[in-house]
Amino acid sequence: MAPLDASTLPTPHPDTERPSYPPKVRPTRVSEWERSDSYRGVLFPIPDTNWRVAVCREGRQWLLQQREAKDHWESRKYFARKGRLATVISDQLGEAAFQSVKRQLETLPI
């Protein structure tokens, strides 16, 4: 009996291939759109709210964004200084929201 030649064997269809272990993780698609869930400029979500903090595409200002729908964020406020961002988070979203992100705000430059 002749040995099998691997080049003549059919290749399995991707849908029927056995999974590899550990499973391969597909990289998350990163978006340039500020409105996207996967926007690369997102700094952190504000826990227990539908708000997040991001940086604009040019890196010039902080954005306070509110979720409008799945994969759609609306920039509500724009800030040049982190102190003003902190004040607005505290005033508009409440002291609990501010306390939950206080450390992240302190690490921001300017």
Triad 84, 78, 70: Cα angle to 5°: 120
pLDDT of residue 51: 97
The pLDDT, as a whole number, for residue 46 is 97
Residue 14 confidence (pLDDT): 53
Stretches where the chain sits below pLDDT 70 are 1-28
- Predicted pLDDT of residue 8: 53
* Residues 3-28: tens digit of each pLDDT: 545 555 454 455 555 544 444 545 56
73, 36 Cβ separation under 8 angstroms: yes
Whole-Å CA distances, 20 to 10, 25, 29, 69, 105: 19, 10, 22, 35, 41
Q: What is the distance, to the nearest Å, from the Cα of residue 51 to the centroid of all Cα atoms in its chain? A: 12
Which backbone phi and psi does 100 adopt, to 5 degrees? -70, -20
